[in-house]
Structure 1
Amino acid sequence: MKSTERLRMRTQLGYGAGDLYGGGAFFIVSTLYLVFLTDVMGVRPALAGLVVLIARGWDAVSDPVMGMITDRTRTRMGRRRPYFLLGMPFIVLSFVFLWYPAGFAAEWARFSYALVTYLFFSTVITMVMIPYNALASELTLDYGERSRLTAYRLAFSELSTIICALVPLLIIDAAASRAVGYPIMGLIFGLFFALPFLATFLTTSERPDFTARSTPAEWKAFAEPFRNRTFRRFILIFLFSFAAIDIVLAIIVFFVTHYLRIPHLTNLLLGTLLIVQLVLLPLYYALSRRYSKIIALITGAVIWIIAMLSSLFLRPGLPIPVYFVFAALVGSGTGGVIVMAYAIFPDIPDVDELVSGRRREGIFAGVQTFLRKLTGAFAVFLVGQAIDIAGYVSPTESMVNGAAQVVIAEQSQAFITVLRVVFAAVPIVFIFLTILISLRFPLSREVHGKLKAYLAERRANDGKVVDEAYEKELRALLFD
């Protein structure tokens, strides 16, 4: 496949369909899992946050190992694609078990069940999404086409996230009780996430020249991405932006329910935010094509800061349209940050090839996936600890005319204050840091064009140095 070749539509759609899982599963877990553990499983918020944080210790090993495994896999189907088929049944099973409310009497037993099932879910995410993320760098070598591919991927991710914002609570509320509704929701969405990977498998292909290169299994390779200055800058942009997103998602249900007192509008507000994100994807893609990915990202970040500052003026009892305008403003900012953070990643392994001479997308994807899950864990842990210290009181459930009815508990003023601070101020700090680091990101469109052209020359020369002085110049700019 030539670097200038335009990707076929079926490839862009098929690849994008895989992120129905990545976008949707993370969203459901980010918004509902803490509520599920505290309000349905009966686990204290501090312990609930600990479940996700402990799992990251396992991910610190499993994610980089999976990156190395997929880099070294050699089959007729390629290095990445076999794991899409292998992972499909496990996606369904892990998502059902994750939402099954085990009714153990002892809290330690409920905590243990939650920890084991979350570890299972996290391992399946690792097995499937690391090869998926790594594949993007191989489908095309072109800077602009990678942005286009990411836009299609994020369109599917946003579509999935919209569905996951609107439908799960409808399924849960329609069931006889939440204890029944959650596992039903898990089964339905497990199938929704798993089946598209068949399309991803059938519509994508891998580069034979990349697959043919040997990638030694070295443990030190896990730390090598951090020697890459471009990767270090990228990963800070990625971490800080998604930390802000994950904190908002982890606390928004509590914010809407206990401060704004409009719990019946939670899914509609989330849906509005996500629809705006989806609608603005072409705009941010066009902005990145005309200027750069970093300019598009910073534009979204500035809008997002304005939106979070405006949340300080929200209060209960305002006209309903005001809340929807706020949700739309948040979505118009987060959309640019999300799509550009993902669009930048496929360019990073090119910098590594300049120095190592190898294509190690799997290792980079492993590190990225681990750190992405770490931000989600950090958000859930932070929110869990904050609301536990603030004295969160879980709702109760009683049977009325044969149907379960949830009674929302009255919260203290201290809890409401903590809720508002965590919702607004903490994300603003992370977004501001994202902007500062973005301003110093070295891999611009022009620089990537020079890098791509030089790597093509070097590949044609059997990987040997073509221009030592020029290569040193590129390395000094991007790596050292």
Structure 2
Amino acid sequence: MAVSAVQAEALPTRVRVGYSLGSLVTGSFGTVPGLLLLPYLTNTMGVAAGAAALLVLLPKAWDVALNPLVGRISDRTQTRWGARRPYLLFAGMGVTLLFIGIFAAPFGTTDWAGMYVAAMFLLTATAFAFFQVPYVAMPAEMTDSYSERTRMMTWRVAMLATAILVAGAGAPYILDAAGGGIPGHRWMALFIGAIMLAGTLIVFYSTAKAPIGQIHESEPSLRAQLKVAAANRPFRVLVACFVAQATGVACMLAGVRYFAVYVMDDLGSTGLLFLFVVAPAILTTPIWRRLGERMGKLRGYVVASITLTVFTFVLTAAPFLPPFVVYLIIFVIGFGYAGQQLFGLAMLPDCIAYDTKRTGKRQAGVFTGVWTAGETLGLALGPGIYAFVLELFEYVSTNTGEFLPQANLAETGVLLGFTLVPAVIVGIALVLLRGYDLDEDQLAHA
């Protein structure tokens, strides 16, 4: 397809920062349901762990099918605001309102409560797809520079980490400060909704003059576009790798509050755990960027993945370690997670640019639709796997809003679901990365 040229030059800082603030939406929605939705269902709504796993998984499974379609719709959109920005505004506002509705609990703790949460989560996930897919597609159309994409993602990962930190630490704090239970979850949802609304408005207005390429033509059908994406080997490998890592990280995320209570013996440590896993992304992302410039994105990704995998395995020894050592291990895990996020997100637009050079067409929407579908699948599987581990180890649910004393077997499940299981899943990515071979020279000569 014909596409307006985007010069391979450095973008203004205001564009990088403005774009990155969209992570207030993606970071908040990607974090809080994974952190609080499962405990909300099992400990406030009284839903059994196995049933809660299905209620969390099914809406996300819908998104896996929906995201590529959203990508095609945005690829074919032509407005005076561009192809992507209208979705940022309207879908972002929709996500805000619907997210608040998830925790509104109009049916209390009756038998309908779980189904209501699942229905609202489904609607929110649908709106989020219409925000996330166009948002992730934008960098590939903002610049043709291989290194500028890494600089953009450095800002985005830093802002994403900030959003995760504020939402991940702030949401449990407000929940507990407001007395927990249904009232506490309502106040928490209003807080997170305000963050997402701010991110929506900032990213929409700050990218008004961003150099975004215009889409004039694409493959004639979604099936044809998906075939093109499947034929892009670097993209195919990268998606598989990111799915594995998203699954492992989401499994850990779902277990944070359980880990705080049954391993750290302190529910109040939830926020501190989040601080130690997310703060490295804010502090060390520039270090990963410089390492990537020296050793290449792929090698940087491998080093980050090894770090993440090894130290998640080490965390299995947490019950036998003093708390400060546990926090130190989690800090190193956060360091690896920061690099994994940076290089994965920086390599995605490279894969899209590679496809553009191969086919003469730019179809960033469908590519990012497949990407976000894979990420969504991972984020859905993670809590589902953790809930399955809890069920397997006979965790006892309640509708009191409290964490009940558990048998030793259940506490073992809490630990393994937070450490050994995600370490194995994340380690799969190291095997998958062996198939990735796209570098700057290959991209330049494609």
TM-score calculated relative to the size of structure 2: 0.93
Aligned equivalent of 2:363: 360
**Which is further off, 382-391 or 361-370?**
382-391
TM-score calculated relative to the size of structure 1: 0.87
State the 1:216 CA deviation: 3.1
Aligned equivalent of 1:427: 422
- In the alignment, residue 439 of structure 1 is paired with which amino acid? R
- In the alignment, residue 387 of structure 2 is paired with which amino acid? G
Any idea what SS the aligned residue of 1:342 has? helix
**Taking structure 1 as reference, are residues 261 and 446 closer, same or farther at Cα in structure 2, changes over 3 Å only?**
same
- In the alignment, residue 52 of structure 1 is paired with which amino acid? V
Aligned equivalent of 1:402: none
Return the alpha-carbon distance in structure 2 between the equivalents of residues 105 and 275 of structure 1.
Answer: 36
Return the alpha-carbon distance in structure 2 between the equivalents of residues 161 and 105 of structure 1.
Answer: 29
CA contact (8 A) 2:74 2:365 kept: yes
Aligned equivalent of 2:124: 121
State the 1:130 CA deviation: 0.6
Return the alpha-carbon distance in structure 1 between the equivalents of residues 227 and 186 of structure 2.
Answer: 39
CA contact (8 A) 2:89 2:201 kept: yes
State the 1:85 CA deviation: 1.7
1:79-105 C-alpha deviation (Å, 9 max, x unpaired) = 001111212321221110112234356
State the 1:116 CA deviation: 0.7
Return the alpha-carbon distance in structure 1 between the equivalents of residues 322 and 82 of structure 2.
Answer: 55
**Taking structure 1 as reference, are residues 76 and 419 closer, same or farther at Cα in structure 2, changes over 3 Å only?**
same
CA contact (8 A) 1:210 1:359 kept: no
Aligned equivalent of 2:278: 274
- In the alignment, residue 424 of structure 1 is paired with which amino acid? T
Instruction: Determine which of 289, 293, 308 is the counterpart of 1:304.
Output: 308
State the 1:136 CA deviation: 1.1
Return the alpha-carbon distance in structure 1 between the equivalents of residues 213 and 415 of structure 2.
Answer: 53
**Which is further off, 190-199 or 148-157?**
190-199
RMSD across aligned positions (CA): 2.0
CA contact (8 A) 2:34 2:379 kept: yes
Matched, 1:10 2:5: no
Aligned equivalent of 1:331: 334
State the 1:223 CA deviation: 4.2
Instruction: Determine which of 20, 27, 35 is the counterpart of 1:23.
Output: 27
Instruction: Determine which of 420, 433, 437 is the counterpart of 1:438.
Output: 433
Return the alpha-carbon distance in structure 1 between the equivalents of residues 102 and 403 of structure 2.
Answer: 24
The equivalences for 1:205-224 within 5 A come to: 205=209, 210-224=214-228
Aligned equivalent of 2:246: 242
Return the alpha-carbon distance in structure 2 between the equivalents of residues 154 and 371 of structure 1.
Answer: 19
State the 1:326 CA deviation: 2.0
Aligned equivalent of 1:449: 444
1:306-339 C-alpha deviation (Å, 9 max, x unpaired) = 31222122216x5432232122121111111111
**Taking structure 1 as reference, are residues 208 and 105 closer, same or farther at Cα in structure 2, changes over 3 Å only?**
closer
Any idea what SS the aligned residue of 2:422 has? helix
* Percent identity over paired residues: 24
Any idea what SS the aligned residue of 2:394 has? coil
CA contact (8 A) 1:396 1:409 kept: no
Unaligned runs of 5+ in 1: 398-405, 452-480
CA contact (8 A) 2:72 2:366 kept: yes
Return the alpha-carbon distance in structure 1 between the equivalents of residues 166 and 30 of structure 2.
Answer: 13
Aligned equivalent of 1:42: 46
Instruction: Determine which of 343, 363, 371 is the counterpart of 1:340.
Output: 343
CA contact (8 A) 2:48 2:397 kept: no
The equivalences for 1:287-302 within 5 A come to: 287-302=291-306
- In the alignment, residue 155 of structure 2 is paired with which amino acid? Y
The aligned length equals 441
Return the alpha-carbon distance in structure 2 between the equivalents of residues 409 and 209 of structure 1.
Answer: 55
**Which is further off, 97-106 or 22-31?**
97-106
Any idea what SS the aligned residue of 2:445 has? helix
CA contact (8 A) 1:72 1:215 kept: no
The equivalences for 1:15-94 within 5 A come to: 15-94=19-98
CA contact (8 A) 1:41 1:103 kept: no
State the 1:2 CA deviation: 4.3
Aligned equivalent of 1:414: 409
Return the alpha-carbon distance in structure 1 between the equivalents of residues 100 and 83 of structure 2.
Answer: 28
The equivalences for 1:379-398 within 5 A come to: 379-394=382-397, 397=400
- In the alignment, residue 429 of structure 2 is paired with which amino acid? T
**Taking structure 1 as reference, are residues 199 and 112 closer, same or farther at Cα in structure 2, changes over 3 Å only?**
same
State the 1:285 CA deviation: 0.7
Aligned equivalent of 2:374: 371
**Which is further off, 327-336 or 67-76?**
327-336
Return the alpha-carbon distance in structure 2 between the equivalents of residues 159 and 126 of structure 1.
Answer: 21
Any idea what SS the aligned residue of 1:439 has? helix
State the 1:215 CA deviation: 4.9
CA contact (8 A) 1:134 1:362 kept: yes
State the 1:260 CA deviation: 2.8
Matched, 1:135 2:130: no
Return the alpha-carbon distance in structure 2 between the equivalents of residues 349 and 207 of structure 1.
Answer: 17
Matched, 1:228 2:232: yes
CA contact (8 A) 2:42 2:399 kept: no
Return the alpha-carbon distance in structure 2 between the equivalents of residues 323 and 425 of structure 1.
Answer: 15
1:64-122 C-alpha deviation (Å, 9 max, x unpaired) = 11111100001111100111121232122111011223435643x22220111011110
**Taking structure 1 as reference, are residues 311 and 218 closer, same or farther at Cα in structure 2, changes over 3 Å only?**
closer
State the 1:393 CA deviation: 1.8
- In the alignment, residue 345 of structure 1 is paired with which amino acid? L
Unaligned runs of 5+ in 2: none
Aligned equivalent of 1:112: 115
1:427-460 C-alpha deviation (Å, 9 max, x unpaired) = 2222322122223311112222333xxxxxxxxx
After TM superposition, the runs of 4+ consecutive aligned structure 1 residues lying more than 6 A away are none
CA contact (8 A) 2:42 2:398 kept: no
1:442-480 C-alpha deviation (Å, 9 max, x unpaired) = 1112222333xxxxxxxxxxxxxxxxxxxxxxxxxxxxx
